[in-house]
């Protein structure tokens, strides 16, 4: 089973994805954190997520090799979040490996709950890197949604199943 929770920043998608995973878990679900923090504000965001999930998940941290990180997981995995992972891949010069890594993830036997920011409804940036990130985020969201059993759009803390 694969599910996607997509929504804007601070829409509530992570909280809803976590609750979904907790309901689906057979034992204790996994939480794969992808975010690398480079500044104090990002560190605060990470701390907020840690407090939100408490000790209800087994936490893994991996900024790049997601399929390898979940290979031995024996229960459902929340990947938080794919957009930050795309950012990491761009930052580390691994753009050409993005689609192949997503394909690997989608072939994994583990149940996965993907969390992804919807950045496609904003203005087109004047910055080439931001435009590339938005394009890749859109491509990846389509790849994941196509293969997921369920897709949920989260707006203002309200989740609506769209697939």
Q: What is the pLDDT of residues 104-134, one digit of tens each?
A: 999 999 999 999 999 877 778 788 998 999 9
Instruction: Give me the pLDDT at residue 50, please.
Output: 74
Is 80 exceeded by the pLDDT of residue 7? yes
Is 80 exceeded by the pLDDT of residue 27? yes
SS3 138: helix
Is 90 exceeded by the pLDDT of residue 35? no
Spatial separation of the C-alpha atoms in residues 39 and 20, rounded to whole Å: 30
Q: What is the DSSP string of 81-124?
A: -HHHHHHHHHHTT-GGGHHHHHHHHHH-SS-EEEEEE--TTSPP
Contact at 8 Å (CB) between 93 and 27? no
SS3 132: helix
Distance of CA 109 to the CA centre of its chain: 17
Positions annotated as catalytic residues are 49
Reported as a pLDDT band with limits 50, 70 and 90, residue 52 is confident
Pick from 94, 149, 138, 92: which is nearest to 116 by CA?
138
Contact at 8 Å (CB) between 57 and 18? yes
């Amino acid at each position: 089973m694969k599910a996607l929770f997509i929504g804007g920043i601070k829409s509530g998608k992570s909280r809803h994805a976590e609750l979904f995973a907790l309901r689906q878990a057979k034992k204790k679900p996994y939480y794969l954190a992808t975010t690398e923090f480079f500044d104090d504000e990002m560190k605060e965001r990470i701390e907020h997520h840690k407090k939100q999930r408490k000790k209800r998940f087994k936490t893994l941290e991996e900024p790049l090799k997601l399929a390898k990180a979940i290979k031995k997981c024996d229960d459902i995995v929340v990947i938080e979040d794919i957009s930050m992972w795309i950012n990491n891949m761009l930052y580390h010069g691994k753009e050409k490996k993005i689609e192949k890594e997503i394909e690997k993830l989608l072939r994994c036997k583990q149940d996965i709950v993907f969390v992804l920011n919807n950045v496609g409804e904003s203005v087109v940036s004047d910055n080439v890197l931001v435009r590339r990130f938005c394009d890749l985020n859109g491509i990846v969201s389509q790849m994941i949604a196509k293969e997921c059993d369920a897709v949920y759009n989260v707006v203002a803390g309200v989740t609506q199943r769209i697939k």
